[in-house]
Structures are given as C-alpha cells and as structure tokens.
Amino acid sequence: MIELVILRGREQNRGFAEGRVDALYAHTPYLETALVDQDAVMLVNQSAGEVPKLAVRQIHSLAVSRRLAKDNPDAVRALVRAVIRGQRLLHADRAAAVRAILKEFPEMNERHVQTVVDIYEPAIPRTPRVSADGFQAALDLFPATRQRPDLAGIDLNQFVAPEFVDAALQSLEK
C-alpha cells in the first residue's frame, strides 16, 4: 500500500533519511541531496521530458521592469546574452558549466552541482525565448492547492519582449 504525504523543503530529506518515507517527488536542492547524500535513485526525470506533459514548461523566467527595458535596452540585451551563453555552455560542455558555477559559488558541493547539471541540462532550452502561449501551458498545470489566476481577456503578448532575445542572438552570431 502507498500512502501519500506532503513534506515541505528540508522535511523531505529528513523524512527520507529517517525512513519515514520511501519515495520523494523532489526538486533542487532536495533532489540532489537525496541522490548524492542519501543513496536514492531517480525513477522519472521530468526535466528530461520523460513525462511529456511536464516537459519544456515555461515556469522560471528572467523578467525586467518595463522602465529598465525602455531606459536601458543595452543592459537588458546584455542580460539576455549572458543567459544565452550560459545555456550554450551547459549544452556544449557540462564539466565547464560545473566549473563556472563553482567559480561563482565556491561554497557549493561539487557533487551536488554536477548532479544538478546532469539532471537539468535536458530541460534548459536552447534559447531563452518565451511566449504568451507558454503562460497558458503553465496555467494548465497550476497547483490544485492554490487558486488559479484567471487570465481571460488579458493579452498575454504584452508581457513578453521577444525583440531582446532576437537582438541578443543576432549579436552573438556576428
């Protein structure tokens, strides 16, 4: 028999370590803790697209204020270029990506960082392009425990600025 329990944050690893739970549905940093430090094995990697409905979801995005986009578009393009370079590095050379992360965050556990990179690399898009359609797809899987926002009648296109990605990609191709 399987009993479903909800454990938040650090409780997940504690419950797993103490044997109060035998399985976890976890994300960073709890997932790599379970895998690296608690002898867990991964059964489903939704980040790799093993569950098609959950693959390539637009749920984490870089956003800037409209004022910054208007007043300092060069800075915004530089931010986007940095994200593109990070995406490219991750896909081209995971070991270099791990080294880059550890250079910026030397206190992080190298085995944890390597695990995170290996797990999440397939989920990282090739470009940081976002779309209004991506908002709707994310809403389709909104947590049942929270009230889903009603976006009916709202032009979601006003909340994306693809021109920054286009300009950044063009500048990197030169």
Q: What is the pLDDT of residue 136?
A: 76
Coil, strand or helix: which one is 137? Answer: helix
Query: Are the CB atoms for 121 and 90 separated by under 8 Å?
Result: yes
Q: Which residue carries 């898009």 as its tokens?
A: 125
Structure tokens at 123: 């989920």
The CA distance from 58 to 141, in Å, is 11
Predicted confidence (pLDDT) per residue in 43-57, tens digit: 988 777 777 766 667
Q: What is the pLDDT of residue 111?
A: 97
The CA distance from 71 to 119, in Å, is 38
Q: What is the pLDDT of residue 56?
A: 65
Q: Where are the domains of the chain?
A: 10-43, 66-173
The CA distance from 169 to 163, in Å, is 10
The CA distance from 132 to 130, in Å, is 7
The mean pLDDT values, 10 residues at a time, for the chain of 174 residues are: 85 93 90 94 82 69 92 95 95 97 96 94 87 80 81 90 92 86
How many C-beta neighbours within 10 Å does residue 119 have?
19
Question: DSSP assignment, residue 146?
Answer: S
pTM: 0.78
Query: Are the CB atoms for 86 and 51 separated by under 8 Å?
Result: no
The CA distance from 66 to 116, in Å, is 32
Predicted confidence (pLDDT) per residue in 34-44, tens digit: 999 999 999 98
The CA distance from 104 to 82, in Å, is 14
Residue count of the chain: 174
